[in-house]
A = this chain, B = another copy of it.
């Protein structure tokens, strides 16, 4: 008998019919004798509906009150799912974040979980109840309702699993696991049985949106055994298990997957004097404008002058260019500011490359053979990422998928 936390996303609970199906699935696990804590998201579309109402009232709604409104989506689902479980003959009991309680800081709309009181849940589990907990929400020390931000239900589930020392945290999604890359682009993409925690972080942050990245970080911190599964299959599939130790079997696979992101824009500050503090002078104003920077590259200098490049989310490209032209350019005496919003990032991810030389070289050769020019390169121990013209994205992903044998069984 295991203690399992199961998280169901908005699409999985998107209608009362689907909530009934989730209840049947949970009931099957319960019938096997497992103790279950279930964390549903809001019904799909509901959080957007609530935020739209708030925006009709106020273009910039007060964050505390926005959380009061937005947290109701999950509160509705926990009640409905508990009823549906009882209809299946399963004892069930719901809790809001405040009831559990899931204690967070007071950063409304982006709160962070500080502590979870597991006593009530533990008592209910011992008494044979399935415990249904609202994801995405918590309560601060003063009793104010908080939310964890978009995708926070994943984080809630992982945090509950950590607090309860659960045997496994299952994240049910619309896909049946983590794939070598997006099957919509590469039909030969394979489901991975396992992926390491570090690889998952790279895959998630680079645009394979299976799991919210914060939840993966949280899982890593508390060594929560995390599994991604499909909520739409009738039969229970194995999904993808996220591991913390490198599997000896995995050594043969150099690369686990290919991530990509076309919401990228590239900015280059040309002819920058290469002196201490110049990176800060460029990125400081960008950070103050709340613009997230992804890749950062500075070449070796020639004649004490260098080019400084970085990427930002495409939606923040115009804002970033504006900041640079108005606040930075003349200040640091840069020759020019150039930008390109039509780029994408493609990344090879795999712990295997730690012990295998030549991964980057093989990647660059593969792209060259397809006539794809590489504009930026960034590497880490388990990743090689390149920025290329966005029109080549699908071609690059398919070529690399084949070149690294990801279409072959592991």
Overall SS of chain A's interface: helix
Within 8 A of B (CB), among A300-316: none
Closest residue of chain B to A75, judged by CB?
Answer: B72
Number of identical monomers bound together in the oligomeric complex: 2
The interface-forming segment of A50-58, A233-241, A273-281 is A50-58
Q: Which residue of B lies closest to A43 (CB)?
A: B53
B76 & A58 in contact (Cβ 8 Å cutoff): no
**Known contacts A72-B76, A75-B69, A76-B72; A83 and B98 CB within 8 A of each other:** no
Contact A79 B83 (CB under 8 A): no
Chain B residues with CB under 8 A of A82: 62, 65, 68
Q: Given A53-B80, A57-B19, A58-B84 in contact, is the A94-B75 Cβ separation under 8 Å?
A: no
Q: When the two chains form their complex, are residues B83 and A61 in contact, meaning their CB atoms are under 8 A apart?
A: yes
How near does chain B come to A48, taking the closest CB pair, in angstroms?
A: 14
User: Nearest B residue to A143 by beta-carbon distance?
Assistant: B99
Closest B residue, CB atoms, query A80: B57
Contact check, A62 vs B50: say whether CB atoms are below 8 A apart. Answer: no
Bound CA span A83–B67, Å: 11
What is the size, in residues, of chain A's interface with B at 8 Å between Cβ atoms? 38
Q: Is the CB of A54 within 8 A of B80?
A: yes
Instruction: Check A66 for interface membership: any CB of B closer than 8 A.
Output: yes
A99 to chain B, nearest CB (A): 6
Q: Is the beta-carbon distance between B20 and A57 smaller than 8 angstroms?
A: yes
> Does A96 have its Cβ within 8 Å of any Cβ on chain B?
yes
Give the interface centre of A54, A78, A82 by most chain B CB atoms within 10 Å. A82
Q: Is A86 an interface residue (CB 8 A)?
A: yes
A54 contacts B72, C-beta separation under 8 Å: no
A370 within 8 A of B: no
Is A336 part of the contact surface with B, judged by Cβ < 8 Å? no
Q: Is the CB of A16 within 8 A of B57?
A: yes
A76 with B50: CB separation less than 8 A: yes
Q: Report chain B residues within 8 Å CB of A80.
A: 53-54, 57, 65, 69
State the CA gap A84–B99 with chains docked (Å).
Answer: 28
Bound-complex Cα distance A71 to B99 (A):
14
A68: B residues at CB distance < 8 A: 75, 78-79, 82, 94, 96
Give residues 74-104 of A contacting B (CB, 8 Å).
75-76, 78-80, 82-84, 86-87, 92-94, 96, 98-99
Are B76 and A62 interface neighbours, CB within 8 A? no
Compute how far the CA of A92 lies from the CA of B144 in the bound complex, rounded to whole angstroms: 14
Q: Which residues of B contact A79 (CB under 8 A)?
A: 54, 65-69
Q: Contact partner of A86 among B62, B72, B96, B143, CB < 8 A?
A: B62
Given known pairs A75-B72, A76-B72, the reply for A65 and B83 (CB within 8 Å) is yes
Q: Which chain B residues lie closer than 8 Å to A69 at the CB level?
A: 75-76, 79-80
Given contacts A54-B79, A65-B82, A68-B78, 7 further A-B contacts (CB under 8 A): A53-B80, A57-B87, A62-B82, A65-B86, A65-B94, A68-B82, A72-B76
The 5 nearest A-B residue pairs measured at CB: A69-B79, A68-B79, A72-B72, A16-B56, A65-B79
Q: List 14 A-B contacts (CB under 8 A).
A: A16-B57, A50-B76, A54-B83, A57-B80, A57-B87, A58-B84, A61-B83, A65-B79, A66-B83, A67-B79, A71-B75, A72-B72, A72-B75, A99-B143
